[in-house]
């Protein structure tokens, strides 16, 4: 059997283990609290960094939107100006086409009058010779523009030459 002194010694020996275990639990709890505090600090810093990045992205997006709007407004203004110029040029083309048609009608009328008065209505050979002479007189003086596709001879002379 065991003696009382042995039991007492065992209890005394067990008490420091309990005290030591209590200290260890407190240390573990303290350490865990420190870890939780550090983790909370890391989470707070990460959260703040993310919010800052979101704010920066929003500011950059807003700046890009404003720049795009300004560019779109400038391009719209340029487009309106170009459309106005196109309309003006189209009006000029119509004006000069009308003038050309009127001039050709006058030239035809004048040619018909010359043909009727000087060459006679029946004399087609004379009219053809006169048209050829007129074409030959016009050739040295006629200078075609590079973009012009019409021949240098006015249409009324071509008609006379075909008769």
Please state, in angstroms and rounded to a whole number, the distance separating the CA atoms of residues 69 and 121: 72
Q: What pLDDT band is residue 76 in, cutting at 50, 70 and 90?
A: very high
Sign, CA dihedral 9-11-15-18, equals: positive
Domain residue spans of the chain = 4-100
Please state, in angstroms and rounded to a whole number, the distance separating the CA atoms of residues 95 and 141: 25
What would the pLDDT profile of 40-74 be if each residue is shown by its tens digit? Answer: 888 889 999 999 999 999 999 999 999 999 999 99
Average pLDDT taken over every residue of the chain: 77
**Which of 51-55, 134-138, 147-151 comes out lowest in average pLDDT?**
147-151
Please state, in angstroms and rounded to a whole number, the distance separating the CA atoms of residues 69 and 65: 6
Of 117, 107, 103, 100, nearest to 160 by C-alpha is 107
Please state, in angstroms and rounded to a whole number, the distance separating the CA atoms of residues 36 and 38: 5
């Amino acid at each position: 059997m065991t003696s009382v002194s042995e039991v007492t010694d065992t209890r005394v020996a067990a008490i420091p283990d309990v005290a030591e275990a209590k200290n260890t639990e407190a240390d573990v709890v303290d350490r865990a609290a420190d870890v939780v505090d550090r983790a909370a600090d890391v989470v707070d810093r990460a959260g703040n960094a993310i919010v800052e990045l979101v704010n920066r992205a929003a500011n950059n997006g807003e700046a890009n939107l404003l720049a795009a709007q300004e560019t779109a407004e400038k391009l719209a203004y340029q487009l309106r100006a170009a459309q106005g110029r196109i309309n003006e040029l189209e009006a000029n083309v119509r004006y000069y086409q009308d003038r050309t048609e009127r001039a050709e009608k006058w030239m035809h009328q004048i040619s018909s009058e010359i043909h009727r008065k000087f060459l006679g209505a029946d004399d087609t050979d004379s009219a053809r010779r006169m048209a050829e002479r007129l074409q030959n007189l016009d050739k040295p003086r006629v200078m075609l523009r590079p973009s012009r596709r019409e021949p240098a001879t006015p249409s009324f002379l071509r008609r006379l030459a075909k008769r």
